[in-house]
Structure 1
C-alpha cells in the first residue's frame, strides 16, 4: 500500500461508501466512515437483489484479499465473489399475454456475463474485507464546513447512543449518503428528485425448503433458464423482473403505473398495509402466469419502492467535497446501473487520487468529475427511457411501446447491452 496521501471522511456505509473505502485505502489514504445504522451488517440475507456487470466484478475482485494457500493465483478471489453470487449469462425480454397467460420471447442475449447477488451479501463481502476500526456506527451526519485556511473539511455527526455531537477533520469529504443526500442538498438546495410515474413491488422468496420445492419445480417448467437468466416480462402498461439468487431464492420486482404517493421520512420505501398487499396479489392474478403469481403470493413482507431519478448533475465536486453513488446520480433501476455506477465511481476516484496525491487534490477531483459525469449522465437518461418503454409510457421521440405488436427494431432498447458505456467504460 502506498504511503498515506491524506485522510477522507466518508458519510454513508452502504455499498457506495464501503466501495469508496476500498478504493481510498488502495490509494494510500486514511479513511473514517460515519454510518447512521447502529451496527455492522449481519450475515442474514435481507433486502433485494442486484446484478454486477463484468467491470464491477473485476473491480471487486481486486479489492478482495488473496489467501496464501492460493499461491498468488488470482482464481482465489474470483472464487470468493462467485460463492456469494450466481451467474446471469442470459438477458431475456418477453411479453406475457394477460388473457392467455402465455409468454413469447422479444429479445434474448446469451452473452450477458452478469452475476446476481443479495444486496446484503455483497455489502457483507466488501465490509468484512476491511479493517473494522474504520467504521463508526450510529453516527448521524449533521453538518460540515471547510476550514478557514481551506486546507481541511470538518464534519459533525451525532452519536445515536449518547446524543453527543462530535467532529472529524479530513482532507476530503466523500458523500455516499444516497439518492436523498443531505450533503448534496447543501450545494443544490433546489434540486428535486423526479418521480418516474410508477412504483415497484419487490420481494425475495426462499424456495429451498421441501415444502416450497414444488414452487421451484413449477418455475423451472415455465422459466427454463432459471438460475442463469435475467427475465424481464412485459405486460400491457407494466413489466416485471425475475431472477434467482444464491441458495434457491427468487428475487422479483413488479412495476405499476400510478400517481406519486406521499412519502414520509427520509426514504423512498413506502409502508404497506395488508389491504395494499392483497390488492396487489389480486392484480397479479390478472396479469402474470400462475407460477409467478404463486411466488408473489408466497413472499412474506413484500415492500413498495417509489421510483425516482433526477436530471443528470453537471457538477459532483465542490472544493473538498465529492459525491459518489446515488448521491451523484439518482437513477431508475432498469439498466442495473445503481450498484455498478457506485462501484465504478469509487474505483475511478481512487485512481484519480492515486495520481494526484493530496497536494494536487483539486486536480484529482476535477479529473474524477470529468470522467464520470459524461458516462453516468447518459446512463441515467437511457435507464429512464428503458423504464418508460417497458411501462408503456409516452416517449419524447417515439410512439408508446406495445409488446404485442413491437418489431425487432423497436425491441432493441429493451436489452441491457445497448446501455451507453455498457463495456469499456473509463
Structure 2
C-alpha cells in the first residue's frame, strides 16, 4: 500500500506539498478549515514568484503556460529618491525613496515633477501573481477529493512505535468529529501553527514594530480614468516593475497584478495592536480607514494617495516573525511554509520558501521511502533550515532599515542623510541564497 500523508492547511504551502508528495508516490489528504474553494481572499493580495518557484509550479501543472498567462513580469528592481507630497504638513522628513523591483531605485521630486535613479537591476526575473489566482492554479491541478474543505484540525497523536500518526478533525458542516491515520503529518497551518505549538509551547511570534496597510485597486473597466493615467505617469514601469518608496520611518510597495489590478502595501511604525482572534490580519473599521487616508496625504504623492483612497476593503496586517527554529520535524511530524519559518515580507520570500519547502520535502521522501522516513525528514531539515534561517534574519534586517528602526550595527535610516550603500543593502538580490537551487532538485 502507498504511504499516506495528512497535510493540515490548504493554503499555497499545503497544496504545494500535496503536489510533491503525490509525485513522490504518496496518498495525500489535505485538511482545510475554509468551507469552500477560495475565489478571492481578503488577506491574500499580491506576491512575487522567483524563477525557481516558477519552474517548480510549472512542473506541477498540466499546462505550464497557465502560470505565465495568470502572472505579470517583475523584471526590474529599482529605488528612487525625491520629495513627498508638497502640500503635506508632517513631522516626517520631506524626502522619500522609491525602489522598483524591476528592480530600479529612482528619485522623484513631487514639487518639480522630476525623478532620478539610485539603483537599478534589470535581471530581477520575478513574476507578480494574486494570491487567489495562484492558489486556484495549484488547487485545480490536484486530483479530485484530495482537499477536504470545511475540516477543522483539532489534535493529533503519534503511535508508540512512531510509525503512524492519528489526526482528529471536525467537519464544520455537521459538527462530526473524524479521525484519519497516516504515516506522516505535514503542518502547513501558517505562522500561528497549532501543530508547532505542540512541540514548542513557549515559542512566541516577535512583533516587528510596524503594521502594513494593504489593498488591491481594481481598475478593470476604468483603464483610462484620471487616477490610472496619473499613476502610470508617476510609476512608468508598472506592469514589469516592483516599486519600493522609502520615506522617513516608513516605506511602501507598489506593483501591477494581472486583470487590471494594482497591489499596494504601506508599512507604518506603531505599537503592537491587541488581536482579538487567532490571526495576524486585523479587522478594520471605517474610521481607521479614514484616518489612514489622512495620514497617507502627509506622506505620499497625490497620485498614489488617490489609488489608496479608491481601493475597496483595504486591510491591516500585523508584521511578525520568529528567531530561526532549531528543528522543523519531530518523529513523523514536519513543518513547512510559515509554520516552519514565520518571516517578515521584505525579502519577497514567504511564498517562494513555501514552494521550495514542498519541493525539497517531496524529493527527500521519494529518495528515502517510507521505510526510511526519519532519514528523509532529517535530510529535509538539513537542506532547508540553514537557508530559511538566514533568509528570515535578512528579511528582518531589511524591514528595520526601511522603517528607520534601530539596528546594533546600523544607524537608523534617514532619507535626508542616506548613502548609496544604504540603497544597495536593501536590494532583493542581496538576500542570502537568492539564486540557490538545492542539489536535490538539480
Shorter-chain TM-score range: over 0.9
1:88 counterpart residue number? 74
Residue 69 of structure 1: aligned partner? none
CA RMSD between the two structures: 1.5
| Deviation, structure 1 residue 316 | 0.3
1:3-402 correspondence to structure 2 within 5 Å:
5-42=2-39, 47-66=44-63, 77=64, 79-100=65-86, 102=110, 104-210=116-222, 213-402=225-414
Shift of 1:408: 1.5
The count of aligned residue pairs is 412
Measure the CA separation in 1 of the matches of 2:27 and 2:146: 9
For 1:133 and 1:263, locate their aligned partners in 2 and report how far apart those are by CA, in whole Å. 35
Secondary structure, in 3 states, of the residue corresponding to 1:421? Answer: coil
Q: 2:99 matched to which residue of 1?
A: none
Alpha-carbon distance in 1 for matches of 2:371, 2:300: 58
Q: Is the 8 A contact 1:316 1:323 kept in 2?
A: yes
Shift of 1:258: 0.3
Deviates more, 1:277-286 or 1:116-125: 277-286
Contact map agreement 1:46 1:120 (CA 8 A) in 2 = no
How far apart are the structure 1 equivalents of 2:215 and 2:81? 21
TM-score (norm 2): 0.91
Q: Which runs of 5+ in 2 are unaligned?
A: 87-108
Q: Find the aligned partners of 2:283 and 2:259 in 1 and give their Cα distance.
A: 28
In 1, are the aligned partners of 2:43 and 2:315 still within 8 Å (CA)? no
CA separation in 1, counterparts of 2:328 and 2:44?
28
Matched residues in 1 for 2:117 and 2:48: separation? 21
Distance 1:232 1:410 in 2: 14
- Partners of 1:37 and 1:273 lie apart in 2 by 24
Question: Take 1:220 and 1:81, find their aligned partners in 2: how far apart are those partners?
Answer: 25
* Residue-by-residue CA offset, 1:227-261 (whole Å, 9 max, x unaligned): 00000000111000000000220000000000000
Q: CA deviation at 1:314?
A: 1.1
Report how far residue 145 of structure 1 moved. Answer: 0.5
| Equivalent-residue separation in structure 2 for 1:183 and 1:358 (angstroms) | 21
Shift of 1:211: 7.3
Moved more, 402-411 or 333-342: 402-411
Structure 1: segments with no counterpart, 5+ residues: 67-76
Q: What is the deviation of 1:403?
A: 2.3
User: Which secondary structure state, in structure 1, belongs to the residue aligned with residue 242 of structure 2?
Assistant: strand
Report the alpha carbon displacement of residue 147 of structure 1 after superposing the two structures with TM.
Answer: 1.4
Structure 1 residue 375: deviation in Å? 0.2
In structure 2, C-alpha distance between the alignment counterparts of 1:313 and 1:210, rounded to whole Å: 47
Work out the CA distance in 1 between the residues paired with 2:222 and 2:422. Answer: 43
Give the match's secondary structure for 1:210: coil
Give the 3-state SS of the residue equivalent to 1:151 in structure 2: coil
